[in-house]
């Protein structure tokens, strides 16, 4: 009997396993996940879970009976520690070995930390459900919150904290929130959105250290000033979780290099890096929809389909009343061209133009209209 | 095939409309998915694809 082992039990891992089963894979499927929880969805963690508008159970992808019914051997609280490509086994932290004919690496990423200060009470990272629950608890009790890093997680958390009534400061090295992901112009619009909602936005500011005895009391900035804080989220980026692959000789370089993996080995989700011919770049995307698309692709390849993977990426962020959605890849040098609506009214569509072509389309509170703009990218 | 959309969980990605444009649409005001009608037999595959791709897993099918 053919055996598939999926390492990682989040969106990419669980989708791979369930797609295999739904589409007729009759062999054995084992999913190995290091968290104790049943597979759950991450995007609500920095939104509904922090706000308390959803009970945490609502993030679940379904009860354990679903996996049992589908004949998926779900091993939770179990960490992969190594991989032997020649013997085709995954080594678990317990020393147990799990053999496979097809392997799917879906171990995701882990958040980066500041050099020091993470031992202080009130300092948080946000990746897991447990992280989100702990951060929410802190935010509910906090009066002054500092968010270090204004990417997706940091910006969404700043919005949630503000909506919970905290005094919030959002700090980033970049000039404006999400400027790295969406360009400076949209970054300034997001800065205005936060400012209009009462968040203090500090762009171009490095953080030197977190201050406090046993609990955090403040954040020291590079200019020497101190921002008072009784809760801090550090959201300064991530690194792919490939440590367990180091001795295996599986080709890695800021993620698993999908084109270079041996036959029978696949990667999906945040940990996977591939070459996009469509956009002419190497991509590794930490976007929810990419996890699904890549997992479905991995499952279908295991089922014998000869399919490529070069999608039009899709991602979104929800902050206050703004739903910002993007198709495509935003190059650092792209020029923003508003094609419909009005940024001042916080309802518009824009193109990112780079090298004489549209490489991404963005909609700010225009989801239906944005969808038709996607066709500009499928033609590339 | 019966299709149910969890409109509160929907994130307005519109992937369902891209996969099965005769079955799904998005509300004008907020992009939340709506069911145009129950899928016909030759739309079952596209409807399954829509449910599979939904980044909020907000589409439930019973067949």
Q: Closest-CA residue in chain A for B13?
A: A367
Domain assignment present for residue A80? The answer is yes
N-terminal to C-terminal alpha carbon distance within chain B: 5
- Chain A residues in contact with B16 (beta carbon < 8 A): none
Asked if B1 is an interface residue toward chain A (Cβ–Cβ < 8 A), one would say no
> Please, which pLDDT band fits residue A378 given cuts at 50, 70 and 90?
confident
E strand or H helix at A136: helix A129-141
Domain assignment present for residue A70? The answer is yes
Domain assignment present for residue A316? The answer is no
Q: B55 and A43: CB-CB below 8 Å?
A: yes
Q: Hey, what CATH topology would domain B2-62 get?
A: Alpha-Beta Plaits (3.30.70)
Question: Which member of A19, A289, A371 has the closest CB to residue B26?
Answer: A371
Query: Are A290 and A359 members of one domain?
Result: no
Which CATH number fits the domain that encloses residue A355? 3.30.390.30
**Is 90 exceeded by the pLDDT of residue A154?**
yes
Q: B14 and A293: CB-CB below 8 Å?
A: no
Q: pLDDT tens digits, residue range A331-364?
A: 999 999 999 999 999 999 999 999 999 999 999 9
Output the pLDDT for position A303: 98
Domain assignment present for residue A312? The answer is no
Domain assignment present for residue A309? The answer is no
Give the integer Cα–Cα distance in Å for A6 and A245: 14
Query: Are A138 and A228 members of one domain?
Result: yes
Give the integer Cα–Cα distance in Å for A236 and A239: 10
Distances (CA, A) of A287 to A103, A110, A132: 22, 14, 18
Structural domain including A334 reads: 321-377
Pull the structure tokens for residue A150: 């204004």
A132 and A218 Cβ atoms separated by less than 8 Å:
no
Domain assignment present for residue A25? The answer is yes
Question: Which member of A288, A367, A371 has the closest CB to residue B55?
Answer: A288
Query: Are A228 and A330 members of one domain?
Result: no
Q: How many CB atoms lie within 10 A of CB A245?
A: 22
Domain count, chain A: 3
Q: pLDDT tens digits, residue range A103-137?
A: 999 999 999 999 989 999 999 999 999 999 999 99
> Please, which pLDDT band fits residue A245 given cuts at 50, 70 and 90?
very high
Query: Are A244 and A102 members of one domain?
Result: yes
Query: Are A89 and A128 members of one domain?
Result: no
Q: What integer is the mean pLDDT of A235-239?
A: 98
Residues of A with CB under 8 A from a CB of B: 15, 19, 22, 41, 43, 58, 61, 288-289, 292-293, 296, 314, 316, 318, 323, 325, 367-368, 370-371, 374
DSSP annotation of A338 reads: E
Question: Which member of B17, B31, B55 has the closest CB to residue A292?
Answer: B55
Q: A61 and B55: CB-CB below 8 Å?
A: no
**Is 80 exceeded by the pLDDT of residue B48?**
yes
Pull the structure tokens for residue A91: 């080594």
Query: Are A106 and A242 members of one domain?
Result: yes
Q: B55 and A314: CB-CB below 8 Å?
A: yes
Q: Closest-CA residue in chain B for A41?
A: B56
User: A111 has which bridge partners?
Assistant: A238
Q: What integer is the mean pLDDT of A52-76?
A: 96
**Percent of chain A whose predicted confidence (pLDDT) is above 70:** 100
Query: Are A122 and A222 members of one domain?
Result: yes
Output the pLDDT for position A247: 95
Domain assignment present for residue A310? The answer is no
Give the integer Cα–Cα distance in Å for A184 and A189: 9
Q: pLDDT tens digits, residue range A44-57?
A: 999 999 999 999 99
A240 and A256 Cβ atoms separated by less than 8 Å:
yes
Output the pLDDT for position A380: 66
> Please, which pLDDT band fits residue A281 given cuts at 50, 70 and 90?
very high
Give the integer Cα–Cα distance in Å for A2 and A6: 13
* Count of H-run helices and E-run strands, chain B: 2, 4
Q: B14 and A368: CB-CB below 8 Å?
A: yes
Angle at A32 between CA A31 and CA A33, to 5 degrees: 120
> Please, which pLDDT band fits residue A379 given cuts at 50, 70 and 90?
confident
């Amino acid at each position: 009997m053919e055996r598939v082992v999926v390492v990682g039990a989040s969106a990419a891992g669980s989708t791979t396993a369930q797609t295999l089963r739904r589409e007729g894979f009759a062999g054995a499927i084992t999913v190995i996940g290091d968290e104790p929880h049943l597979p759950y969805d991450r995007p609500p963690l920095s939104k509904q879970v922090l706000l308390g508008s959803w009970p945490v159970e609502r993030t679940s992808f379904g009860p354990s009976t679903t996996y049992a019914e589908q004949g998926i051997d779900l091993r939770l609280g179990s960490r992969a520690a190594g991989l032997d490509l020649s013997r085709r086994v995954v080594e678990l932290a317990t020393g147990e070995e799990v053999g496979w004919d097809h392997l799917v690496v879906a171990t995701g990423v882990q958040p980066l930390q500041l050099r020091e200060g993470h031992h202080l009470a009130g300092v948080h990272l946000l990746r897991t459900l447990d992280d989100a629950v702990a951060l929410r608890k802190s935010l509910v009790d906090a009066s002054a919150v500092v968010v270090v890093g204004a990417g997706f997680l940091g910006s969404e958390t700043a919005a949630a904290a503000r909506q919970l009534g905290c005094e919030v400061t959002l700090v980033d090295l970049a000039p404006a929130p999400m400027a790295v992901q969406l360009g400076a112009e949209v970054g300034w619009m997001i800065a205005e959105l936060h400012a209009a909602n009462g968040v203090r936005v500090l762009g171009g500011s490095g953080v030197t250290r977190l201050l406090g005895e046993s609990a955090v009391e403040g954040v020291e900035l590079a200019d020497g000033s101190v921002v008072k804080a009784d809760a801090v989220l550090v959201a300064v980026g991530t690194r792919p979780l490939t440590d367990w692959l180091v001795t295996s000789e599986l080709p890695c370089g800021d993620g698993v290099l999908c084109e270079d993996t041996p036959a029978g080995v696949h990667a999906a989700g945040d940990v996977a890096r591939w070459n996009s011919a469509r956009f002419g770049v190497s991509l590794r995307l930490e976007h929810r929809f990419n996890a699904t698309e890549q997992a479905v692709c991995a499952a279908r390849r295991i089922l014998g389909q000869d399919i490529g993977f070069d999608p039009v990426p899709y991602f979104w962020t929800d902050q206050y009343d703004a739903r910002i959605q993007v198709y495509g890849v935003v190059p650092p040098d792209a020029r923003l061209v508003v094609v419909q609506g009005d940024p001042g009214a916080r309802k518009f569509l824009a193109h990112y133009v780079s090298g004489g072509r549209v490489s991404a389309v963005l909609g700010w509170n225009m989801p239906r209209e944005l969808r038709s703009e996607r066709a500009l990218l499928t033609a590339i | 095939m019966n299709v149910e959309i969890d409109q509160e969980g929907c994130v307005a990605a519109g992937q369902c409309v891209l996969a099965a444009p005769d079955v799904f649409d998005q509300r004008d005001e907020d992009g939340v998915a709506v069911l145009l009608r129950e899928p016909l037999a030759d739309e079952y595959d596209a409807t399954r694809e829509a449910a599979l791709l939904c980044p909020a897993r907000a589409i439930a099918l019973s067949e």
